[in-house]
Structure 1
Amino acid sequence: MKDIVARQTAVTAVDRIDREPTVAELDAIERELPVILAGVDLLDAHIITLDRIPSELDQRRIRRARRRVLAARRALANRSTAGQAGGAA
């Protein structure tokens, strides 16, 4: 049996395969980290209720997690908008 392998060159440039994230990419991740963490909390709250009917406590936990996601998204959007407008009022 023969192995099937690609005979084309890689689509990604060779110098980008083993590179570290740039400063701009790390800054973007740091800015979005509150939204990411809030999303993880919401996902955790949903995972807890997968195998059972959600109790009142579970429902509150999900509502709080949704509010945290929305608040983090709003804060990120407000920071992005303020940065684009130059911060002048």
Structure 2
Amino acid sequence: MVGTWKILDTPECKLPEKLSTAFNDLLDMDGAGYKPMLYAATQLVAGTNHLIICKQTIVAKEPIEFLVYVIIYEDLEGNFVLTRIERIV
């Protein structure tokens, strides 16, 4: 169903190859590192949103770690855009 999040039947830590490449490119940021922990859900829109649970490590003298969710949008041509990073409370 369009617009509804679909929890994956077999969520995994391993991202599909194209999504993994996009994840690494989009989340290559100074000051924080991201490690995918769970590829959890997808949402069919005019393309696909991918929901990934990650460990975020803030680079500091004493690194700080958080659990976050990341949403990456994939358009109909296979291009990827980072749309959201949100801390899980």
Above 0.5 in TM-score?
Answer: no
Instruction: State TM-score, norm by structure 2.
Output: 0.24
Rg (Cα) greater in structure: 1
Instruction: State TM-score, norm by structure 1.
Output: 0.24
When you count helix as a share of all residues, which structure comes out higher?
1
When you count strand as a share of all residues, which structure comes out higher?
2
Instruction: Give the number of the structure with larger relative contact order, counting CA–CA contacts within 8 Å between residues 6 or more apart.
Output: 1
